Amino acid sequence: MECLYCHHQMGTGKYCPVCGRDVSLYRKVVKASNTYYNVGLEKAKVRDLSGAAVYLRKSLDLYKKNTDARNLLGLIYYEMGETVDALAEWVISKNLQPDDNLAAEYLRKLQSRQSRLNQMNQTLKKFNQALYYARHDSEDLALLQAKKVISMNPRFVKAYQLLGLLYLKKEEYAKAEKTIRAILTIDVNNTAALSYLDELKDIAKNKKAIAKEKSRKQAKKNVERDLFEDAVRDEAIVPTYREGTGSWATVLLLAVGLVVGVLFTYFLILPVKEKALNTSFNENILTYNEKIAERDTNITGLQGQIDSLNEEKGNLQNELAAYTGEGGIINEYNKLLNVLTLKASGDYIGAMDSISSIDPSLVTNEIFQNVYNSLNSEFKDSGVQNLFNLGKAAYDARNWETARVYFAKCLELQPDYPEVIFYIGVCYQNLSDWGTAVSYYNQLIDNPAYSGTAWGAQALQQRGY
């Protein structure tokens, strides 16, 4: 077990052996979390999934790094059709424990079955649509959609709950009971399903009471009818016959038969046909709604692709600007090439000045970095000496102006260089700039650090007074 404070292994003592902090309370919290996990595991073994989920969530409330509890909670969510919640738990678990974690295997198996993931996504969308229909008093459409959801994911507990409620509302109690019992085969102690069953039992009791009351009233009517028939038989009533009433009786019977036929058609046949038409109409509406939703999804997907392509275009343009723009990579390559060209052509000072304009952080290429670092090191470590050598060569050749330029750059980098101070003074003297030459000689003559040296003596001699 890791220490809460320093994240090292704690051992079994009251205090962490590494940081010395008291971890006794932390141990109790982790132990309580494991206890809740064990209870949840036992409930999961007997398919009390909702009960197990309650204990596992308590376990994670106490100790969020309990990956065993989190992985089991994800499995329970997956078993109940809650794929999104299952994925969320496994991803968190993998982030908390990247190595030796079953969550990684669960995620790998799911990701390897992309078609299954797509189907789960469609199932969730259809379930949300069914909820929308149910909330907006379109029970028939909600019923059809809920059935489709269950056909796509036969273990989606929430879809069964919705379907059972819809059957209850439509008073189709046999179908409602069958649907609710299907929930209990997945989750034996599902609270919602058990409450629905209790409601069904209450409805059944009421129906029995109503049926018993009807039976009592019917028995009373039967007794009264029997008494009346006995009285009629005792009177020995003989039916009379009147001549000439047969045709009217026939017409009357035909009229009664016609009325009965019309009523039969109106109350029995027409409702059946109307119900069939309504079912067909609802199915057509559901199909059209699905097509519209699919079209909207496609439009959203295309818009997303357009946005993604525009973003990619912008990124490519920015990347191109990073190569070809004023501060781009290619510009840095050109600067480095210019330094090499100046150095090769003998313009050492120009090369030294140009390298300072290069920003090496913009280019990660190894060859570029090696060339730049080599030149930069040369200019920093040997630049003064190289400038002196070039200036001395020009000085010896009596090329006073060229020597003056090299010596001036040399003093810019290293102002306390007495030999260069003397030589640049001589250059100015030979260029007929006596005032500047004297100013350099005086730097050696007046400076105690140089006046007693050979260069101070030569400067005094060169000045002549």
Summarised one tens digit per residue, pLDDT across range 18-74 is 666 776 787 888 889 999 999 999 999 999 999 999 999 999 999 898 999 999 999
CATH of the domain at 175: 1.25.40.10
Burial (CB count within 10 angstroms: exposed 0-12, middle 13-18, buried 19+), residue 220: exposed
* In a domain? residue 348: yes
CB-based contact 20:40 (threshold 8 Å): no
Range of the domain at 95: 24-112
The whole-angstrom separation of Cα 139 and Cα 65 is: 44
Query: Residue 244 CB: number of other CB atoms within 10 A?
Result: 6
Q: Which amino acid is residue 282, in one-letter code? A: N
Summarised one tens digit per residue, pLDDT across range 251-307 is 777 777 777 777 766 666 666 666 666 666 666 666 666 666 666 666 766 676 777
Work out how many domains the chain is built from and give that number.
5
More confident residue, 332 or 145: 145
* In a domain? residue 243: no
* In a domain? residue 436: yes
Task: Report CA-CA distances (Å) from 207 to 168, 176, 177, 203, 301.
Answer: 14, 16, 15, 6, 53
* In a domain? residue 210: yes
Residue 393 confidence (pLDDT): 92
* Cα dihedral 309, 310, 315, 319 in deg (nearest 10): 100
* Helix segments in 13-101, DSSP class H: 24-45, 49-62, 67-79, 83-96
Q: Are 143 and 61 members of one domain?
A: no
Residue 241 confidence (pLDDT): 46
* In a domain? residue 282: yes
CA-based torsion, 289, 292, 298, 299: positive or negative? negative
Task: Report CA-CA distances (Å) from 348 to 79, 338, 353, 379, 387.
Answer: 77, 12, 9, 9, 8
CB-based contact 176:208 (threshold 8 Å): no
Q: Are 392 and 377 members of one domain?
A: no
**Cα–Cα nearest to 423, from 393, 449, 447:** 393
Coil, helix or strand for 9?
A: strand
pTM metric for this prediction: 0.49
